[in-house]
Chain A
Amino acid sequence: MSRWAVLGAGPLGGLAAVLLLLLWPGLPPTALAAPASAATPVAPPDSCTACHQNLTGRLGAPAAGMAGDMHARPELRCAGCHGGDPAKPSMEAHDRSAGFIGVPTRQQIPRTCARCHADPGFMRRFNPSLPSDQLARYLTSEHGERLQQGDRNVATCTGCHGVHPVRAVTDSRSPVFATNVPAMCARCHADASLMRPYGIPTTQYADYLASVHGQGLLRRGNRQAPACNDCHGNHGAAPPGVASVANVCAQCHSATRDLFVRSPHKAVFDALQMPECTACHATHRIAFPTDTMIGQQQGAVCTQCHAAGSPGLETAGRLRAQLEDVKGAMAAAEEVLRRAANLGMDVGDARLDLDEANTQLIRARAVIHAANPQELQTVTAQGVAAAGRARASGEAAIAEWSFRRRGLGISAVVIVFVAVLLWLKLREIERTPREGT
């Protein structure tokens, strides 16, 4: 496989060529968009497609692929990026005086795309909400900086977005669709031979797949879960430094970040220049957080820094014990509610209390980041109280069930008694001779 193919550019690097045309000084984007104001653009002669659609291999693929390309519109077409004059027949269309450039070089690609995409006025005609700072961000990215230094292995626009066809980010077939992003990045970043010159690991993709984020996005299809670009940036992709890791995580976990900032850990981590979140949660292989991470026992992350018997580890033990209090109260309530429900009793309101207890447990797990037992106590106490209410409701329901059965037993006695009285009365009447008989 060629390097171009590895980077997703395809054998022709086609879109690169398309986009390069936009950068060609003699062809301003506004000129390309001239027919855009027309309500229904009339397709002018297109000798590019006419010829290339009859070709095979690398010369025919772009024409075939353009059918699904979001740029396949009359005002852009092949010449919009590659230049030339499609109105001329056959090879005459490759008219260098009309700006024909053929396949753009890798270094040319970003500015080719930016010819249109960095022009807010031009882009507004097609998609007013689309940002126009991709090139500026790209040039600050690790990829962009290396490209400017002459590195031809780094990702460019087409390496990620594909080419012939380039699909919308919202199109699930696009390589930059949310659930496709990790695999797209991994095409290069999991390639040990490609990454060797840079001295960076290639385990990120495997780690991500095993992480809570990867599981959420790729297994459960939860598009709220982050992919590579959500932490590293899209066009400005770069590894976050030690000082900014917490800011990256705080994009989503803002409340947790606030709690950590006011914890005793903050000053110590800063002094030791330790990354905040990843010190306990790891980087790409971020496991689903469990309560076993907290405490004094072996395997708890607290033991990574705090020595046995130290005040810090004792505090960790207290924090863990408070969580267990809520969980224990919830488990006891759950058992009672399960029994009541099995007896056919309505425990809907008690379930709401149990939900409230669970909410407090979730809050408590966040408040752990403040590493303050007193603060945690205010939350766990509410959780224990809510679970207690649920348990009391469940016990009341079970008592009510017993009451109903006793009531039914008493009713049955009364019913039989009344029936017997009626029967005796009937017997008495039947034995009494009727008048005139």
Chain B
Amino acid sequence: MDLWGWFEERLRYRAAETFLEKKAVPVHRFSFTYYTGGITLFFFLLQVFTGLLLLMYYRPTSDAAYESVRLIVSKVQFGWLIRSIHAWSANLMVAAVIVHLAVTFFSRSYRRPRELTWVSGALLLALTLAFAFTGYLLPWNTLAYFATQVGTEIAGDVPVIGRALLVLFRGGEDITAATLSRFFGIHVAILPALATLLLGLHLVLVQIHGMSRPISVRADRSEPFYPHFVLRDFIVWVFLLGGVAALSTFAPWPLGEKADPLAPAPAGLRPEWYFLFMFQTLRMLPARILGLEGEQVGVVLFVVLGLILVFVPFLDRWAPRGRSHPLVTVIGVAVVLFVAVMTVLALRGGM
């Protein structure tokens, strides 16, 4: 018995191989959208790998966090590359998740029997944003400090439990060393554990149900998932790796100035680009709406919209019957336009 035979007898891996070979990926004019999931997975894996390396030097205290990141980018061999890739890849992963969600939405891929695939994906989007939010504070620089202050204040606007949420997030009334260690714990332990479980579920469901064919596509051409689609995915991944490396080399992620809690907030402070639409919306809302505080109404609205997003497969009554109803498309386009316009307004320092 050769070595592979020895493993086969114990692991039965050929069963999985056979499954993958028999699994078919539809081939049509929208096939490129199938790569968005793989791209997201690539960035996630890159985050895990670079994050583990950063953990070896990063120190999560308000006294040492900034200095440890400075050490990483200035003294540690290739530390600058690892840290820059981690920061760039984080942003690209958020973008990839959003694009993946958008193409899944517009192709109605969430329809039966993939409702739970969508739900787990939507929750993964929330986890990705939580990863980004908690990770942003960790270098303990000025922008991160004050952006986190603004971000956690938004949580404080949630009616009834807002104050409790704010204290829970910050580990007290203000952004302090307690906030930093809390964010660090969430970023490197709690979120990865949750993400691993959800991502595992998401990938298993994708394998069980396969790729969804858009409603409008009638042709039934397909290709094997393994090795055809997997090899194409790898080619994309290889180019992405080169792209992230080039970004990190030509535009290293800045470290900024160390946070000084006693200093005034810098002018033009705003959150990272993926939170800008919320930030801008809350800014533009009137102070009072129907007797309630404008920001509170806005936060409640975003929470409701988030819940609607999670339950989209159960709200779209037409998709299970094989219909792409224009109303769903119009709502999707309206949301995309709203997010885009608000983001642009915020970038331009709008009202």
Q: Are B228 and A426 in contact (CB under 8 A)?
A: yes
A408 to B84, CA, bound (A): 14
Q: Are B74 and A346 in contact (CB under 8 A)?
A: yes
How distant is B109 from chain A, measured CB to nearest CB, in Å? 25
Q: Are B235 and A422 in contact (CB under 8 A)?
A: yes
Interface size class of B (residues with CB under 8 A): 20 to 34
- Determine which of B224, B239, B249, B252 lies in contact with A434 in the assembled complex, contact meaning CB atoms within 8 Å: B224
A 416-437 to B, binary, CB cutoff 8 A, 1 in contact else 0: 1011001101100110001000
Q: Which residue of B lies closest to A412 (CB)?
A: B242
A 182-205 to B, binary, CB cutoff 8 A, 1 in contact else 0: 000000000000000000000000
- Which residues from chain A contact B227 at a C-beta distance below 8 Å? 425-426, 429
Q: Are B231 and A422 in contact (CB under 8 A)?
A: yes
Q: Are A426 and B74 in contact (CB under 8 A)?
A: no
B246 on the A face (CB < 8 A): yes
Q: Are A344 and B251 in contact (CB under 8 A)?
A: yes
B215 on the A face (CB < 8 A): no
Q: Are B234 and A422 in contact (CB under 8 A)?
A: yes
How distant is A330 from chain B, measured CB to nearest CB, in Å? 21
B177 on the A face (CB < 8 A): no
A242 on the B face (CB < 8 A): no
B241 on the A face (CB < 8 A): yes
B238 on the A face (CB < 8 A): yes
A198 to B302, CA, bound (A): 80
B70 on the A face (CB < 8 A): yes
Q: Are B245 and A346 in contact (CB under 8 A)?
A: no
- Which residues from chain A contact B339 at a C-beta distance below 8 Å? none
Knowing A405-B249, A408-B249, the reply to whether A422 touches B74 (Cβ < 8 A) is no
A411 on the B face (CB < 8 A): yes
Q: Are B73 and A346 in contact (CB under 8 A)?
A: yes
- Which residues from chain B contact A422 at a C-beta distance below 8 Å? 231, 234-235, 238
Within 8 A of A (CB), among B213-243: 224, 227-228, 231-232, 234-235, 238-239, 241-242
Q: Are A426 and B246 in contact (CB under 8 A)?
A: no
Knowing A423-B235, A429-B228, the reply to whether A344 touches B252 (Cβ < 8 A) is yes
A349 on the B face (CB < 8 A): yes
- Which residues from chain B contact A426 at a C-beta distance below 8 Å? 227-228, 231-232, 235
- Which residues from chain B contact A418 at a C-beta distance below 8 Å? 238
Q: Which residue of B lies closest to A426 (CB)?
A: B231
B255 on the A face (CB < 8 A): yes
How distant is A12 from chain B, measured CB to nearest CB, in Å? 46
- Which residues from chain B contact A408 at a C-beta distance below 8 Å? 245-246, 249
Q: Are B235 and A419 in contact (CB under 8 A)?
A: yes
- Which residues from chain B contact A346 at a C-beta distance below 8 Å? 70, 73-74, 80, 255
A331 on the B face (CB < 8 A): no
Q: Are A419 and B231 in contact (CB under 8 A)?
A: no
Q: Which residue of A lies closest to B233 (CB)?
A: A422
A418 to B237, CA, bound (A): 11
Q: Are A415 and B235 in contact (CB under 8 A)?
A: no
A412 to B238, CA, bound (A): 10
A429 to B241, CA, bound (A): 24
- Determine which of B224, B231, B241, B249 lies in contact with A415 in the assembled complex, contact meaning CB atoms within 8 Å: B241
A407 to B227, CA, bound (A): 31
A415 to B246, CA, bound (A): 12
A404 on the B face (CB < 8 A): yes
A289 to B78, CA, bound (A): 46
Q: Are A415 and B74 in contact (CB under 8 A)?
A: no
- Which residues from chain B contact A344 at a C-beta distance below 8 Å? 251-252
How distant is B199 from chain A, measured CB to nearest CB, in Å? 24
- Which residues from chain A contact B238 at a C-beta distance below 8 Å? 415, 418-419, 422
A429 to B252, CA, bound (A): 39
A264 on the B face (CB < 8 A): no
Q: Are B246 and A430 in contact (CB under 8 A)?
A: no
A60 on the B face (CB < 8 A): no
- Which residues from chain B contact A407 at a C-beta distance below 8 Å? 249
A348 on the B face (CB < 8 A): yes
A411 to B243, CA, bound (A): 11
- Which residues from chain A contact B74 at a C-beta distance below 8 Å? 346, 348-349
- Which residues from chain A contact B255 at a C-beta distance below 8 Å? 346
- Which residues from chain B contact A404 at a C-beta distance below 8 Å? 80-81, 249
Q: Which residue of A lies closest to B70 (CB)?
A: A348
How distant is A360 from chain B, measured CB to nearest CB, in Å? 24
A 342-361 to B, binary, CB cutoff 8 A, 1 in contact else 0: 00101011000000000000
Q: Which residue of A lies closest to B234 (CB)?
A: A422
Within 8 A of A (CB), among B237-285: 238-239, 241-242, 245-246, 249, 251-252, 255
Q: Which residue of B lies closest to A348 (CB)?
A: B70
How distant is A342 from chain B, measured CB to nearest CB, in Å? 13
Sample (16) of A-B pairs whose CB atoms are under 8 Å apart: A346-B80, A349-B74, A405-B249, A408-B246, A408-B249, A412-B242, A415-B238, A415-B239, A415-B241, A415-B242, A416-B242, A419-B235, A422-B231, A423-B235, A425-B227, A429-B231
9 shortest interchain CB distances as A-B pairs: A415-B242, A426-B231, A408-B249, A346-B74, A419-B238, A422-B235, A404-B249, A419-B235, A344-B252
- Other than the known A348-B74, A412-B242, what 19 A-B pairs have Cβ atoms closer than 8 Å? A346-B74, A405-B249, A408-B245, A412-B246, A415-B239, A415-B241, A415-B242, A418-B238, A419-B235, A419-B238, A419-B239, A422-B235, A422-B238, A423-B235, A425-B231, A426-B227, A426-B232, A426-B235, A429-B227
